[in-house]
Protein backbone atom coordinates (compact mmCIF):
# COMPACT_ATOMS: atom_id res chain seq x y z
CA UNK A 1 0.00 0.00 0.00
CA UNK A 2 1.35 3.43 -0.96
CA UNK A 3 2.55 5.89 1.67
CA UNK A 4 0.18 8.53 0.29
CA UNK A 5 -2.95 9.90 1.96
CA UNK A 6 -6.13 8.61 0.38
CA UNK A 7 -7.61 10.86 -2.29
CA UNK A 8 -9.08 9.16 -5.35
CA UNK A 9 -9.72 12.31 -7.42
CA UNK A 10 -6.05 13.12 -7.87
CA UNK A 11 -4.23 12.29 -11.10
CA UNK A 12 -0.78 13.35 -9.89
CA UNK A 13 1.09 12.46 -6.72
CA UNK A 14 1.72 15.11 -4.08
CA UNK A 15 4.83 17.16 -4.80
CA UNK A 16 7.57 16.34 -2.33
CA UNK A 17 7.94 20.02 -1.43
CA UNK A 18 4.28 20.24 -0.43
CA UNK A 19 4.54 16.91 1.35
CA UNK A 20 7.36 18.23 3.52
CA UNK A 21 5.73 21.62 3.93
CA UNK A 22 2.33 20.30 4.98
CA UNK A 23 3.21 17.39 7.27
CA UNK A 24 2.26 17.77 10.92
CA UNK A 25 3.08 14.36 12.33
CA UNK A 26 6.45 15.67 13.51
CA UNK A 27 4.56 17.47 16.27
CA UNK A 28 0.99 16.17 16.37
CA UNK A 29 2.25 12.67 17.19
CA UNK A 30 1.80 13.93 20.77
CA UNK A 31 -1.91 13.35 20.23
CA UNK A 32 -1.46 9.67 19.37
CA UNK A 33 -2.81 8.23 22.64
CA UNK A 34 -5.88 10.46 22.36
CA UNK A 35 -6.35 9.58 18.70
CA UNK A 36 -6.44 5.91 19.61
CA UNK A 37 -8.87 6.50 22.49
CA UNK A 38 -11.20 8.47 20.25
CA UNK A 39 -11.02 5.87 17.50
CA UNK A 40 -11.76 3.00 19.87
CA UNK A 41 -14.80 4.84 21.23
CA UNK A 42 -15.91 5.60 17.67
CA UNK A 43 -15.52 1.94 16.63
CA UNK A 44 -17.59 0.73 19.57
CA UNK A 45 -20.30 3.20 18.67
CA UNK A 46 -20.26 2.12 15.00
CA UNK A 47 -20.77 -1.46 16.14
CA UNK A 48 -23.62 -0.40 18.43
CA UNK A 49 -25.47 1.26 15.52
CA UNK A 50 -24.82 -1.65 13.14
CA UNK A 51 -22.14 -0.18 10.87
CA UNK A 52 -19.55 -2.67 12.17
CA UNK A 53 -19.99 -6.26 13.22
CA UNK A 54 -18.83 -7.24 16.68
CA UNK A 55 -15.95 -9.12 15.08
CA UNK A 56 -14.88 -6.07 13.08
CA UNK A 57 -15.13 -3.91 16.19
CA UNK A 58 -12.94 -6.30 18.14
CA UNK A 59 -10.36 -6.41 15.34
CA UNK A 60 -10.21 -2.63 15.28
CA UNK A 61 -9.97 -2.27 19.06
CA UNK A 62 -7.24 -4.90 19.30
CA UNK A 63 -5.33 -3.43 16.37
CA UNK A 64 -5.52 0.12 17.77
CA UNK A 65 -4.48 -1.07 21.22
CA UNK A 66 -1.44 -2.79 19.75
CA UNK A 67 -0.50 0.37 17.84
CA UNK A 68 -0.89 2.47 21.01
CA UNK A 69 1.41 0.11 22.89
CA UNK A 70 4.03 0.36 20.14
CA UNK A 71 3.84 4.15 20.18
CA UNK A 72 4.21 4.22 23.96
CA UNK A 73 7.24 1.95 23.70
CA UNK A 74 8.81 4.11 20.99
CA UNK A 75 8.62 1.31 18.42
CA UNK A 76 6.09 2.83 16.02
CA UNK A 77 7.35 4.42 12.81
CA UNK A 78 5.59 7.67 11.97
CA UNK A 79 5.73 8.44 8.24
CA UNK A 80 5.80 12.06 7.10
CA UNK A 81 4.27 11.08 3.77
CA UNK A 82 1.05 10.26 5.63
CA UNK A 83 0.81 13.86 6.82
CA UNK A 84 -0.51 13.56 10.35
CA UNK A 85 -0.96 11.35 13.37
CA UNK A 86 -4.47 10.31 12.33
CA UNK A 87 -3.49 8.98 8.91
CA UNK A 88 -0.41 7.25 10.32
CA UNK A 89 -2.48 5.31 12.82
CA UNK A 90 -5.37 4.53 10.50
CA UNK A 91 -3.17 3.49 7.58
CA UNK A 92 -1.15 1.17 9.81
CA UNK A 93 -4.40 -0.32 11.14
CA UNK A 94 -5.64 -1.00 7.60
CA UNK A 95 -2.30 -2.56 6.63
CA UNK A 96 -2.63 -4.94 9.55
CA UNK A 97 -6.31 -5.88 9.62
CA UNK A 98 -7.60 -5.05 6.13
CA UNK A 99 -11.13 -3.95 5.29
CA UNK A 100 -12.33 -3.77 8.89
CA UNK A 101 -9.84 -0.97 9.35
CA UNK A 102 -11.16 0.78 6.22
CA UNK A 103 -14.57 1.06 7.90
CA UNK A 104 -13.28 2.92 10.95
CA UNK A 105 -13.49 6.38 9.37
CA UNK A 106 -17.22 6.01 8.69
CA UNK A 107 -19.22 8.95 10.04
CA UNK A 108 -16.26 11.16 10.85
CA UNK A 109 -13.61 13.37 9.22
CA UNK A 110 -10.11 14.36 10.18
CA UNK A 111 -11.65 17.77 10.94
CA UNK A 112 -13.74 16.54 13.86
CA UNK A 113 -11.17 13.88 14.72
CA UNK A 114 -8.35 16.36 15.33
CA UNK A 115 -10.62 18.64 17.32
CA UNK A 116 -11.56 15.68 19.52
CA UNK A 117 -7.94 14.63 20.03
CA UNK A 118 -6.90 18.20 20.81
CA UNK A 119 -9.72 18.65 23.33
CA UNK A 120 -8.79 15.41 25.08
CA UNK A 121 -5.15 16.53 25.28
CA UNK A 122 -6.05 20.00 26.56
CA UNK A 123 -8.40 18.50 29.14
CA UNK A 124 -5.57 16.41 30.58
CA UNK A 125 -3.22 19.40 30.48
CA UNK A 126 -5.73 21.50 32.39
CA UNK A 127 -5.89 18.86 35.11
CA UNK A 128 -2.09 18.59 35.23
CA UNK A 129 -1.50 22.34 35.42
CA UNK A 130 -4.24 22.74 38.01
CA UNK A 131 -2.43 20.20 40.21
CA UNK A 132 0.83 22.14 39.78
CA UNK A 133 -0.91 25.39 40.73
CA UNK A 134 -2.30 23.73 43.85
CA UNK A 135 1.19 22.53 44.74
CA UNK A 136 2.52 26.08 44.44
CA UNK A 137 -0.30 27.33 46.63
CA UNK A 138 0.70 24.77 49.27
CA UNK A 139 4.28 26.06 49.15
CA UNK A 140 3.10 29.63 49.80
CA UNK A 141 0.74 28.52 52.58
CA UNK A 142 3.59 26.57 54.19
CA UNK A 143 5.62 29.78 54.17
CA UNK A 144 2.97 31.51 56.30
CA UNK A 145 3.95 29.31 59.25
CA UNK A 146 7.68 29.83 58.67
CA UNK A 147 7.29 33.63 58.52
CA UNK A 148 4.33 33.97 60.87
CA UNK A 149 5.24 37.19 62.70
CA UNK A 150 7.49 38.80 60.09
CA UNK A 151 6.48 42.26 58.88
CA UNK A 152 7.71 43.41 55.47
CA UNK A 153 7.32 46.75 53.71
CA UNK A 154 4.60 46.82 51.09
CA UNK A 155 5.23 48.85 47.96
CA UNK A 156 3.28 50.87 45.45
CA UNK A 157 5.11 52.40 42.49
CA UNK A 158 8.08 50.46 43.93
CA UNK A 159 8.13 53.00 46.79
CA UNK A 160 7.59 52.01 50.39
CA UNK A 161 3.91 52.34 51.25
CA UNK A 162 2.53 50.43 54.26
CA UNK A 163 3.64 47.55 56.46
CA UNK A 164 2.17 44.10 55.83
CA UNK A 165 2.61 40.69 57.37
CA UNK A 166 4.75 38.37 55.26
CA UNK A 167 1.97 35.79 55.61
CA UNK A 168 -0.46 38.29 54.07
CA UNK A 169 1.99 38.73 51.23
CA UNK A 170 2.21 34.96 50.59
CA UNK A 171 -1.57 34.60 50.63
CA UNK A 172 -1.83 37.30 47.97
CA UNK A 173 -0.11 34.89 45.59
CA UNK A 174 -2.48 32.11 46.65
CA UNK A 175 -5.40 34.33 45.66
CA UNK A 176 -3.89 35.06 42.24
CA UNK A 177 -3.32 31.36 41.66
CA UNK A 178 -6.85 30.62 42.86
CA UNK A 179 -8.26 32.77 40.08
CA UNK A 180 -5.96 31.04 37.60
CA UNK A 181 -7.38 27.73 38.74
CA UNK A 182 -10.92 29.05 38.44
CA UNK A 183 -10.17 30.13 34.88
CA UNK A 184 -8.87 26.64 34.12
CA UNK A 185 -12.05 25.13 35.52
CA UNK A 186 -14.21 27.42 33.40
CA UNK A 187 -12.11 26.68 30.33
CA UNK A 188 -12.38 22.94 30.94
CA UNK A 189 -16.17 23.09 30.72
CA UNK A 190 -16.03 24.54 27.22
CA UNK A 191 -13.21 22.22 26.16
CA UNK A 192 -15.15 19.21 27.38
CA UNK A 193 -17.70 19.09 24.53
CA UNK A 194 -17.40 16.31 21.94
CA UNK A 195 -17.00 17.37 18.27
CA UNK A 196 -16.58 13.82 16.90
CA UNK A 197 -19.40 12.85 14.57
CA UNK A 198 -19.92 16.34 13.16
CA UNK A 199 -17.69 15.06 10.33
CA UNK A 200 -16.14 17.44 7.81
CA UNK A 201 -18.53 20.36 8.35
CA UNK A 202 -22.18 19.38 7.75
CA UNK A 203 -22.58 16.16 9.72
CA UNK A 204 -23.17 12.67 8.34
CA UNK A 205 -26.05 10.64 6.92
CA UNK A 206 -24.90 7.62 8.92
CA UNK A 207 -27.16 7.11 12.00
CA UNK A 208 -24.35 7.46 14.55
CA UNK A 209 -24.75 7.91 18.32
CA UNK A 210 -22.56 10.85 19.32
CA UNK A 211 -23.72 10.83 22.93
CA UNK A 212 -22.47 7.24 23.34
CA UNK A 213 -18.99 8.37 22.27
CA UNK A 214 -19.18 11.42 24.53
CA UNK A 215 -20.05 9.22 27.51
CA UNK A 216 -17.20 6.80 26.85
CA UNK A 217 -14.64 9.59 26.48
CA UNK A 218 -15.87 11.53 29.50
CA UNK A 219 -17.20 14.57 27.63
CA UNK A 220 -19.94 16.56 29.35
CA UNK A 221 -21.90 16.99 26.12
CA UNK A 222 -21.68 17.17 22.35
CA UNK A 223 -20.95 20.19 20.17
CA UNK A 224 -24.34 21.36 18.91
CA UNK A 225 -23.49 22.73 15.46
CA UNK A 226 -21.36 20.93 12.90
CA UNK A 227 -20.18 24.11 11.16
CA UNK A 228 -19.15 25.63 14.46
CA UNK A 229 -17.41 22.42 15.47
CA UNK A 230 -15.30 22.32 12.33
CA UNK A 231 -14.40 25.98 12.15
CA UNK A 232 -13.46 27.16 15.63
CA UNK A 233 -10.52 26.83 17.96
CA UNK A 234 -11.76 29.20 20.62
CA UNK A 235 -11.32 26.45 23.22
CA UNK A 236 -7.61 26.32 22.37
CA UNK A 237 -7.29 30.11 22.44
CA UNK A 238 -9.04 30.25 25.79
CA UNK A 239 -6.62 27.68 27.18
CA UNK A 240 -3.72 29.65 25.73
CA UNK A 241 -5.03 32.82 27.41
CA UNK A 242 -5.33 31.11 30.79
CA UNK A 243 -1.77 29.83 30.41
CA UNK A 244 -0.67 33.36 29.57
CA UNK A 245 -2.33 34.76 32.69
CA UNK A 246 -0.62 32.09 34.81
CA UNK A 247 2.71 32.98 33.22
CA UNK A 248 2.13 36.68 33.88
CA UNK A 249 1.46 35.97 37.55
CA UNK A 250 4.63 33.88 37.75
CA UNK A 251 6.62 36.57 35.97
CA UNK A 252 5.46 39.23 38.43
CA UNK A 253 6.40 37.01 41.37
CA UNK A 254 9.79 36.27 39.80
CA UNK A 255 10.50 39.97 39.25
CA UNK A 256 9.66 40.75 42.87
CA UNK A 257 11.92 38.03 44.20
CA UNK A 258 14.74 39.00 41.85
CA UNK A 259 14.65 42.43 43.47
CA UNK A 260 14.37 40.98 46.96
CA UNK A 261 17.50 38.87 46.35
CA UNK A 262 19.66 41.89 45.51
CA UNK A 263 22.19 43.28 47.96
CA UNK A 264 20.23 46.53 47.87
CA UNK A 265 17.06 44.86 49.18
CA UNK A 266 18.55 41.83 50.96
CA UNK A 267 15.09 40.55 51.88
CA UNK A 268 15.43 37.01 50.57
CA UNK A 269 17.91 34.21 50.13
CA UNK A 270 17.25 31.63 47.44
CA UNK A 271 18.40 28.02 47.82
CA UNK A 272 21.83 27.57 46.23
CA UNK A 273 20.38 24.71 44.18
CA UNK A 274 18.26 27.20 42.24
CA UNK A 275 21.01 29.73 41.55
CA UNK A 276 23.95 29.74 39.16
CA UNK A 277 27.38 31.33 39.21
CA UNK A 278 29.28 33.65 36.94
CA UNK A 279 31.94 32.57 34.48
CA UNK A 280 34.20 35.41 35.61
CA UNK A 281 32.93 36.80 38.95
CA UNK A 282 33.44 34.21 41.69
CA UNK A 283 31.21 35.92 44.25
CA UNK A 284 28.06 35.82 42.14
CA UNK A 285 24.92 33.82 42.92
CA UNK A 286 22.51 34.64 40.14
CA UNK A 287 18.73 33.96 40.37
CA UNK A 288 18.68 32.40 36.91
CA UNK A 289 15.63 30.25 37.62
CA UNK A 290 13.56 33.32 38.41
CA UNK A 291 14.96 35.21 35.45
CA UNK A 292 14.12 32.36 33.09
CA UNK A 293 10.56 32.14 34.42
CA UNK A 294 10.24 35.85 33.73
CA UNK A 295 11.82 35.39 30.30
CA UNK A 296 9.80 32.35 29.27
CA UNK A 297 6.62 34.30 29.91
CA UNK A 298 7.43 36.14 26.68
CA UNK A 299 7.11 32.85 24.78
CA UNK A 300 3.69 32.18 26.25
CA UNK A 301 2.49 35.70 25.48
CA UNK A 302 3.85 35.38 21.94
CA UNK A 303 2.10 32.06 21.41
CA UNK A 304 -1.23 33.60 22.35
CA UNK A 305 -0.65 36.47 19.95
CA UNK A 306 0.19 33.99 17.18
CA UNK A 307 -3.02 32.06 17.78
CA UNK A 308 -5.13 35.22 17.75
CA UNK A 309 -3.53 36.29 14.48
CA UNK A 310 -3.91 32.79 13.03
CA UNK A 311 -7.67 32.69 13.58
CA UNK A 312 -8.63 36.34 13.13
CA UNK A 313 -9.99 36.06 9.58
CA UNK A 314 -10.72 32.43 8.81
CA UNK A 315 -13.93 31.74 6.88
CA UNK A 316 -16.37 29.01 7.83
CA UNK A 317 -15.63 26.05 8.24
CA UNK A 318 -12.33 24.09 8.45
CA UNK A 319 -9.19 25.63 6.94
CA UNK A 320 -5.73 24.09 6.93
CA UNK A 321 -4.40 27.17 8.74
CA UNK A 322 -5.69 25.50 11.90
CA UNK A 323 -2.88 22.97 11.68
CA UNK A 324 -0.67 25.77 13.02
CA UNK A 325 -2.50 25.92 16.35
CA UNK A 326 -0.98 22.90 18.04
CA UNK A 327 2.68 23.81 18.28
CA UNK A 328 1.79 27.11 19.93
CA UNK A 329 -0.49 25.47 22.49
CA UNK A 330 1.91 22.59 23.09
CA UNK A 331 4.74 25.03 23.75
CA UNK A 332 2.70 27.22 26.11
CA UNK A 333 1.50 24.24 28.14
CA UNK A 334 5.01 22.77 28.34
CA UNK A 335 6.51 26.12 29.31
CA UNK A 336 3.98 26.95 32.02
CA UNK A 337 4.17 23.45 33.48
CA UNK A 338 7.97 23.66 33.64
CA UNK A 339 7.81 27.07 35.33
CA UNK A 340 5.34 25.80 37.92
CA UNK A 341 7.42 22.71 38.62
CA UNK A 342 10.40 24.98 39.33
CA UNK A 343 8.48 27.60 41.29
CA UNK A 344 7.15 25.38 44.09
CA UNK A 345 10.52 24.16 45.46
CA UNK A 346 11.96 27.66 45.11
CA UNK A 347 9.14 29.07 47.24
CA UNK A 348 9.49 26.25 49.76
CA UNK A 349 13.27 26.56 50.07
CA UNK A 350 13.74 30.34 50.14
CA UNK A 351 14.56 32.15 53.39
CA UNK A 352 13.47 35.62 54.42
CA UNK A 353 16.40 37.68 55.70
CA UNK A 354 14.52 38.72 58.82
CA UNK A 355 17.36 40.66 60.44
CA UNK A 356 17.93 42.73 57.33
CA UNK A 357 14.21 43.36 56.88
CA UNK A 358 13.76 44.31 60.53
CA UNK A 359 16.73 46.65 60.60
CA UNK A 360 15.26 48.79 57.84
CA UNK A 361 11.54 48.35 58.46
CA UNK A 362 11.16 51.80 60.02
CA UNK A 363 12.47 53.55 56.92
CA UNK A 364 9.91 55.11 54.62
CA UNK A 365 7.26 56.14 57.18
CA UNK A 366 5.15 53.06 56.66
CA UNK A 367 2.89 54.08 59.56
CA UNK A 368 1.93 57.47 58.06
CA UNK A 369 -1.37 56.21 56.59
CA UNK A 370 -2.32 54.61 59.91
CA UNK A 371 -1.65 57.91 61.66
CA UNK A 372 -3.78 59.74 59.10
CA UNK A 373 -6.65 57.31 59.71
CA UNK A 374 -6.20 57.82 63.47
CA UNK A 375 -6.87 61.54 62.88
CA UNK A 376 -9.94 60.63 60.82
CA UNK A 377 -11.19 58.52 63.74
CA UNK A 378 -11.19 61.58 66.00
CA UNK A 379 -13.22 63.64 63.52
CA UNK A 380 -10.68 65.23 61.18
CA UNK A 381 -11.73 65.17 57.48
CA UNK A 382 -9.63 62.84 55.37
CA UNK A 383 -8.16 65.49 53.10
CA UNK A 384 -7.27 67.66 56.09
CA UNK A 385 -5.72 64.70 57.90
CA UNK A 386 -3.77 63.79 54.76
CA UNK A 387 -2.23 67.25 54.61
CA UNK A 388 -1.45 67.39 58.33
CA UNK A 389 0.33 64.03 58.35
CA UNK A 390 2.23 64.99 55.20
CA UNK A 391 3.54 68.00 57.13
CA UNK A 392 4.50 65.79 60.08
CA UNK A 393 6.36 63.41 57.73
CA UNK A 394 8.23 66.39 56.31
CA UNK A 395 9.17 67.44 59.84
CA UNK A 396 10.37 63.93 60.70
CA UNK A 397 12.42 63.82 57.50
CA UNK A 398 14.14 67.07 58.42
CA UNK A 399 14.92 65.70 61.86
CA UNK A 400 15.97 62.34 60.31
CA UNK A 401 13.76 60.42 62.73
CA UNK A 402 10.67 58.22 62.79
CA UNK A 403 7.19 59.61 63.31
CA UNK A 404 7.18 57.77 66.62
CA UNK A 405 10.26 59.74 67.68
CA UNK A 406 8.60 63.15 67.29
CA UNK A 407 7.74 64.82 70.61
CA UNK A 408 4.08 65.21 71.53
CA UNK A 409 4.41 68.96 71.01
CA UNK A 410 4.88 68.40 67.26
CA UNK A 411 1.67 66.39 67.06
CA UNK A 412 -0.31 68.89 69.11
CA UNK A 413 1.01 71.71 66.95
CA UNK A 414 -0.31 69.84 63.93
CA UNK A 415 -3.76 69.34 65.49
CA UNK A 416 -5.09 70.15 68.95
CA UNK A 417 -6.98 66.85 69.27
CA UNK A 418 -3.79 64.80 69.27
CA UNK A 419 -2.51 63.56 72.64
CA UNK A 420 -0.26 60.79 73.96
CA UNK A 421 -2.60 58.14 72.54
CA UNK A 422 -1.21 58.93 69.08
CA UNK A 423 1.81 56.78 69.88
CA UNK A 424 -0.48 53.73 70.09
CA UNK A 425 -0.72 53.62 66.28
CA UNK A 426 2.89 54.48 65.48
CA UNK A 427 5.55 51.93 64.58
CA UNK A 428 5.04 49.09 62.12
CA UNK A 429 3.83 46.56 64.71
CA UNK A 430 1.10 48.87 65.96
CA UNK A 431 0.27 49.99 62.45
CA UNK A 432 -0.29 46.40 61.33
CA UNK A 433 -2.39 45.64 64.40
CA UNK A 434 -4.55 48.72 63.75
CA UNK A 435 -6.01 47.46 60.47
CA UNK A 436 -9.69 46.55 60.71
CA UNK A 437 -11.12 46.06 57.22
CA UNK A 438 -11.90 42.64 55.80
CA UNK A 439 -9.04 41.26 53.65
CA UNK A 440 -6.52 43.53 55.41
CA UNK A 441 -3.18 42.60 56.94
CA UNK A 442 -4.61 42.58 60.47
CA UNK A 443 -2.87 39.65 62.25
CA UNK A 444 -6.09 37.97 63.39
CA UNK A 445 -7.66 38.21 59.95
CA UNK A 446 -4.51 36.88 58.31
CA UNK A 447 -4.41 33.98 60.75
CA UNK A 448 -8.01 33.14 59.87
CA UNK A 449 -7.21 33.24 56.17
CA UNK A 450 -4.20 30.97 56.68
CA UNK A 451 -6.40 28.40 58.40
CA UNK A 452 -8.99 28.61 55.63
CA UNK A 453 -6.30 28.02 53.02
CA UNK A 454 -4.85 25.09 54.93
CA UNK A 455 -8.26 23.45 55.18
CA UNK A 456 -9.07 24.11 51.53
CA UNK A 457 -5.83 22.62 50.23
CA UNK A 458 -5.98 19.71 52.65
CA UNK A 459 -9.50 18.91 51.47
CA UNK A 460 -8.26 18.88 47.87
CA UNK A 461 -5.55 16.41 48.80
415 is catalytic: no
Choosing from 157, 279, 421, 437, the catalytic residue is 157
Choosing from 278, 363, 377, 417, the catalytic residue is 278
Q: Nearest to residue 194, comparing CAs of 145, 157, 228, 166? A: 228
226 is catalytic: no
Q: Please, what's the b/e burial string for 68-77 (b: 16 or more CB within 10 A of its CB; e: otherwise)?
A: beebeeeebe
Q: What's the CA gap between 440 and 423, in Å, rounded? A: 21
Crossing angle (nearest 10°) for helices 288-311 and 325-349 = 160
Backbone angles phi, psi at 233, to 5 degrees: -125, 30
Q: What's the CA gap between 232 and 223, in Å, rounded? A: 11
SS (H, E, C) the chain: CCCCCCCCCCCCCCCHHHHHHHCCHHHHHHHHHHHHHHHHHHHHHHHHCCCCCHHHHHHHHHHHHHHHHHHHCCCCCCCHHHCCHHHHHHHHHHHHHCHHHHCCCCCCCHHHHHHHHHHHHHHHHHHHHHHHHHHHHHHHHHHHHHCCCCEEEEEECCEEEEEEEHHHHHHHHHHHHHHHHHHHHHHHHHHCEECCCCCCCCCCCCCCCHHHHHHHHCCCEECCCHHHHHHCCHHHHHHHHHHHHHHHHHHHHHHHHHHHCCCCCCCEECCHHHCECCCCCCCCCECHHHHHHHHHHHHHHHHHHHHHHHHCCCCCCCCHHHHHHHHHHHHHHHHHHHHHHHHHHHHHHCEECHHHHHHHCCCCCCCHHHHHHHHHHCCCCHHHHHHHHHHHHHHHHHHCCCHHHCCHHHHHHHCCCCCHHHHHHCCHHHHHHHCCCCCCCCHHHHHHHHHHHHHHHHHHC
Catalogue the active-site residues: 157, 278
Amino acid sequence: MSDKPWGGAFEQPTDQLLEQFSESVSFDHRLSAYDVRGSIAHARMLAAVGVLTESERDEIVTGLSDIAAEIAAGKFEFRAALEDVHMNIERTLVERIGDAGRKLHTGRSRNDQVSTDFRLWIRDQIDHIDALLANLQRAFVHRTSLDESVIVPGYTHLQRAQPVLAAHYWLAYCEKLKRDRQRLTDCRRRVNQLPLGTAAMAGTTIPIDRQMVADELGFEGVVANSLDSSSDRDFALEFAYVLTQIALHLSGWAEEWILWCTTEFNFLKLPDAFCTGSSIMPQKKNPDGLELIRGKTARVVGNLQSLITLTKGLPMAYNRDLQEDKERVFDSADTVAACLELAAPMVAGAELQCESISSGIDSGYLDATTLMEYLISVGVPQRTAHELIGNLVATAMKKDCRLADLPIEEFQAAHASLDESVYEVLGVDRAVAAFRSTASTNPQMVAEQVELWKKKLQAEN
